[in-house]
Structure 1
Amino acid sequence: MNGLVDATGRPISTARMVPGASRDAGAFRDPISGWHGPQVHSPQAAARERTVMQRRAGDLAANDWAAGSALDAISMNAVGTGLLPKATIPADMLGISAEEASAIGKRMEWAWSRWVLESDVRGMCHFHDLQLLGIRSMLAQGELLHLALMLDERERQSLGRLFSFALQAVRPQRLQTPADLQTDPAVRDGVRMSSSGRPEGYYIANPAASPQDAFCNIEALSSADFSYIPTRAAHRRLVFHLFRHETEEQVRGVTTFAKGISLFRNLSDALNYELFAQVIAATFPVFIATESGQPPLPQADDGDENEGAERYHEVRPGGVYYGDLNQKPYPLESKRPSANFTSFVEIILRAMAASQGIPYETLAKDYSKTNYSSMRAALNEAWKLYNYYRQWFARSYCQPIWEMVMEEAVLRGYVSLPSSAPDFYAARELWCNASWIGPARGFVDPVKEIQAVVMALQHNLMTYGEAWGERGGDWDEGSDTILHEAPKLRRIVEAKPAQNPVTATGRNGIAPESAQADEEEKA
């Protein structure tokens, strides 16, 4: 018989527990005896906590330099000037030729280039601007909230638009649970959920305009002041509510500053206080007091003995102030910051950068202590985060919008499909297949990095499309341009090199060959 047996040959039972080591992480022993791990026990408490968190994060994004630097670093590298689509229609799966697929793809990209100009329903933003606005909202507020609208035909024609489809950017704070639905278990933090936890619709605050708007409490609004928008209408998305999922059963987003929000706020306050101390010390006011004579006797009545004495609550640079009798001046000397202030701030900044997943150099814009190897390693680590956001944003936001634009382009006749191929709706995923190209990452050492790309191409470790994509370019467009430039480059190479202008002309400004030819012609 296999397994553990006792002296009588019977199996040893493991049903009864024997003593084992106790783990400090789950015990209440010093120094973490008071750490119970705060919990949120209701959707209402979670909503209140998220609301406060969004307010604090919004304040950081608006006023804190370090928070702004982190937002710029992630959003500019992940999205930057915008993600560009490259139609990649699988010709073999649709039963068409590669030339037909390429021609249809170019037509789709042309239709897209027209729509991005009118993507904003307010007519104020390019689609690339909406991308950057969306990723910044997702980082700072924790979530993106855009509505997909279809303008009626009369409005489309009056505005001179090619497409009816447009996007409306909405502040996530509008997504709330109406006051009269607080006890509805199917509504969680402004989102109506199905029995399986799928979002079915969103309650977006839309109260009527009133002179009393300044006193409006959005949390006290009833359902009449909200617009309920379903998540989808058939296969089309009506609401783009996107956030980074960090926990199971998550309904609303969490700001990227959540893990280090106290670091950002406390460092900002510390720097402000240190700077203010230096400002006060730099004013160096001169306070002159008269020490001779006797102080006056107190009055017989109950009047204030300090009545008539002048008190200074504000000083100006270089001011001269005269005090009362027996008052001595004390010069304002600043002994701050301490000698280790710089290193202390650097440690805090490194912790803040780590909480955002970016290098210290990127957050602080300090490259004074960086060499090529360390900077290259830091950028490689940072680009893992940038690429994550880029791919997540492309598949969750850009690709569904591309499909909606292409659907309208086909219906309006801007893009024609072969009659022998499957219908658009029968093979929508195939017709709308696309890859997304983002801004190129910068060079640390251009020579070394370009040599690495060339070697990868030579050894078939990288395709030309991947190489151009890393640089933010399109291989198909680039190759067409190269073929167009090739004849000109060939003529330049074959042309004779230009001669030195001093030796190429004679004293009279005529080339020696030309002068000799003229003489031979005369002879």
Structure 2
Amino acid sequence: FFRLSHRPSWRYLGIGEEEARAFSREVEAAWKEFAEDDCCCIDVERKRTFTMMIREGVAMHAFNGELFVQATWDTSSSRLFRTQFRMVSPKRISNPNNTGDSRNCRAGVQINDSGAALGYYVSEDGYPGWMPQKWTWIPRELPGGRASFIHVFEPVEDGQTRGANVFYSVMEQMKMLDTLQNTQLQSAIVKAMYAATIESELDTQSAMDFILGANSQEQRERLTGWIGEIAAYYSAAPVRLGGAKVPHLMPGDSLNLQTAQDTDNGYSVFEQSLLRYIAAGLGVSYEQLSRNYAQMSYSTARASANESWAHFMGRRKFVASRQASQMFLCWLEEAIVRRVVTLPSKARFSFQEARSAWGNCDWIGSGRMAIDGLKEVQEAVMLIEAGLSTYEKECAKRGDDYQEIFAQQVRETMERRAAGLKPPAWAAAAFESGLRQSTEEEKSDSRAA
């Protein structure tokens, strides 16, 4: 799951830290019930949960350079929350009637004189040929500040209204790789073919008569006689070796097997070169793109994984977290209005006055790949002991929420004690080591005093 870690800016809001933590726990419990509902009530099409919508948004951004989500309102009274979302394909965002761009309408995005988006023209998803194409204008925000249409993309220059595909920079190399693989497949098919030929001492004219067919009775008789002599010769010479028959040709005949040359022609090296170029253009490592870890040591694999992890964390923060945070704000506003969650009474600002402060949060996604589990754990323990990291950060790297782990550990410890089970050996050893170390520190402090 793409899990919420809600952390409102309690100092700015003027509330206590404990009040903020209590409010966060209340919000996280209500959000999980709404977002990961098996009935997919968060989705207008009732196909996706929140995590599935985030995954689709990331895939949409990867292939189109942007993602669109429309926040809608369900009119049914059978559910507690009316907030719903619709994933919108970027192909449906275009100028009305497919007209050209103008000063205030570019590629389906209506902008003001400063370049800020005011709304989007969305083509209706009608069956092709069923009805005339229609466009609906959807505002970016409602008058109260609630997001109505979420658009996530990374502009590279001023005035840009739509995203650019990340594959544009490597599209030529991807086409070259596809052509190379198809050509190599055709070459492999040709190399798999073979032809068997028998060379004899017949002259060219006689051989062609036998192969192409004889027209005269005399030639047919000669061919029949020649074949008969061959059959009689081979039937009279049953040479066997270990029970297996060994064919023996007539004097002057030789059997040849004609095959194509089986050479690589530098295909593997050229393919690796193209994959490395594509990986560099996409910001990932060659090993991760090709799924080839055969010639890597632990150090190189770890360096490659860390580099890719840093890139993916940046993309997660920019793409997935932005989409998730804006969707979360839409739901949080309704949850507060319906009093499903209650704001702390001593807060200086209301939700409408400080949306970002109340909706500030982090998102926990899938964990980092562990190349060597033992070394990964040792590194995490050393970072925590040295004060360079926290349980929250290390658990987030593994895709876990530290609060859930702590709560589960408390429950398991109490259940083990109630069942009369001893603590695990490693836990007892760690406890004794910590107790011994603290005792020695106390003795050294008393001596110093």
Within the candidate set 146, 163, 179, 1:253 is matched to 163
Q: Which of 136, 139, 148 matches 1:227? A: 136
Matched, 1:493 2:422: yes
Q: Which residue of 1 aligns with 2:445?
A: none
Structure 1 pair 295/426, CA: closer, same or farther in 2 (3 Å)? closer
Pair 1:442 & 2:362 matched: no
Contact kept, 8 Å, 1:274 with 1:337, in 2: the verdict is no
Superposed, 1:148-167 pairs within 5 Å as 148-152=71-75, 155=76, 157=77, 160-167=78-85
Q: Distance in 2 between matches of 1:290 and 1:149?
A: 83
Q: 1:392 aligns with which of 302, 307, 318?
A: 318
- The counterpart of 2:399, out of the listed 472, 478, 499, is 472
1:273 counterpart letter in structure 2:
T
Confirm whether residue 276 of structure 1 aligns to residue 203 of structure 2: no
Partner SS, residue 403 of structure 1: helix
Once the two structures are TM-superposed, the CA of residue 489 in structure 1 deviates from its matched residue by 4.5
* 3-state SS, counterpart of residue 208 of structure 2: coil
Give % identity: 27
Equivalent residue runs for 1:35-50 within 5 Å = none
Instruction: Specify the alignment match of 1:512 in structure 2.
Output: none
Quote the Cα distance in structure 1 between the aligned partners of 2:402 and 2:212.
Answer: 90
Deviation at 1:212, TM superposition (A): 5.5
Q: 2:116 aligns with which of 198, 203, 208?
A: 198
Q: 1:112 — aligned with what?
A: 31
Evaluate the alpha carbon distance shift between residue 455 and residue 495 of structure 1 in structure 2; reply closer, same or farther with a 3 A threshold.
closer
Counterpart pick for 1:377 among 296, 299, 303: 303
Q: Secondary structure at the match of 1:85?
A: strand
Tell me the equivalent position of 2:49: 126
* TM-score normalised according to structure 1 size: 0.64
- Which residues of 2 match residues 406-425 of structure 1 at below 5 A? 406-422=332-348, 423-425=350-352
Q: Alpha-carbon deviation of 1:172? A: 0.7
8 Å CA contact retained: 2:305, 2:369: no
Residues 177 and 203 in structure 1, CA contact (< 8 A), matched pair in contact too: yes
Give the residue type in structure 1 aligned to 2:364.
I
Q: Distance in 2 between matches of 1:201 and 1:337?
A: 59
Write the distance in 2 (CA, Å) between the matches of 1:202 and 1:99: 42
Residue identity opposite 2:63 in structure 1:
A
Q: Secondary structure at the match of 1:111?
A: helix
Q: Per the alignment, in what secondary structure is the counterpart of residue 257 of structure 1? A: helix
Q: Which residue pairs with 2:280 in the alignment? A: 354
Structure 1 SS opposite 2:4: strand
Alignment partner of 1:484 is 2:402: no
Shift of 1:133: 0.7
Residue 136 of structure 1 and its aligned partner are, at CA, apart by 0.6
Q: Decide whether aligned partners of structure 1 residues 287 and 266 sit closer, same or farther in structure 2, where only a CA change above 3 A counts.
A: farther
**Post-superposition shift, 1:413?**
2.0
Corresponding residue SS for 2:341: coil
Kindly indicate whether the alpha-carbon contact (under 8 Å) linking 2:191 and 2:262 is maintained by their aligned counterparts in 1. Answer: no
Runs of 5+ unmatched residues, structure 1: 1-81, 297-329, 497-523
Q: Note if contact 1:87-1:434 (Cα within 8 Å) is conserved in structure 2.
A: yes
On the 8 A contact 1:181/1:187 being kept in 2, the answer is no
User: Aligned partners of 1:408, 1:435: CA distance in 2, in Å?
Assistant: 20
Query: Cα distance 1:390–1:174, how it changes in 2: closer, same or farther (>3 A)?
Result: same
Per the alignment, do residues 294 and 464 of structure 1 end up closer, same or farther by CA in structure 2, a change over 3 Å counting?
Answer: closer
Structure-1 separation of matches of 2:297 and 2:70: 46
1:241 corresponds to = 151
Q: Residue 383 of structure 2 corresponds to which residue in structure 1? A: 456
Q: Answer whether contact 1:91 1:98 (CA < 8 A) is retained.
A: yes
Q: Secondary structure of 2:422's partner?
A: helix
Deviations 1:112-140 (A, max 9, x none): 11221222111011111111111111111
Q: CA deviation at 1:196?
A: 0.8
Q: State the distance in 1 between where 2:424 and 2:25 align.
A: 36
Aligned to 1:309: none
Q: 2:96 aligns with which of 162, 178, 186?
A: 178
Q: CA deviation at 1:226?
A: 0.9
Question: Cα gap change, 1:286/1:137 in structure 2, threshold over 3 Å: closer, same or farther?
Answer: farther
Partners in 2 of 1:164 and 1:418 — Cα distance? Answer: 24
Shift in alpha-carbon separation, 1:246–1:494, aligned structure 2, 3 A: closer
Do the aligned residues in 1 keep the contact of 2:195 with 2:259 (CA within 8 Å)? no
Question: How far apart are 1:351 and its partner, in Å?
Answer: 1.1
SS of the residue 2:70 aligns to:
strand
* Whole-angstrom distance in 2 between the partners of 1:259 and 1:332: 45
Tell me, yes or no, if the aligned pair for 2:44 and 2:85 is still in contact at 8 Å. Answer: yes
One-letter code aligned to 1:129: M
Gaps of 5+ in 2: 199-205, 214-255, 426-449
Question: How big is the shift at 1:162?
Answer: 2.5
Q: Which amino acid aligns with 1:231?
A: R
Deviates more, 1:167-176 or 1:426-435: 426-435
Deviations 1:8-57 (A, max 9, x none): xxxxxxxxxxxxxxxxxxxxxxxxxxxxxxxxxxxxxxxxxxxxxxxxxx
Q: Deviations over 1:129-169 (max 9, x none)?
A: 111111111111221122111122xx2x3xx4321111111
- CA separation in 1, counterparts of 2:139 and 2:390? 43
Please tell me whether the aligned partners of residues 83 and 394 of structure 1 are also in contact (alpha carbons under 8 angstroms): no
Distance 1:286 1:189, change over 3 A: farther
Equivalent-residue separation in structure 1 for 2:358 and 2:378 (angstroms): 37
Residues 380 and 248 of structure 1: is their aligned pair in 2 closer, same or farther, counting only changes over 3 Å?
Answer: farther
- 8 Å CA contact retained: 2:197, 2:258: no
Give the 3 Å change call, closer, same or farther, for CA 93–141 of structure 1 in structure 2: closer
2:68 maps to which residue? 145
SS in 2 for 1:192: strand
- Report the Cα offset of residue 473 of structure 1: 1.4
Closer, same or farther in 2 for the Cα pair 1:163/1:494, shift >3 Å? closer
Residue type matched to 2:104 in 1?
Answer: A
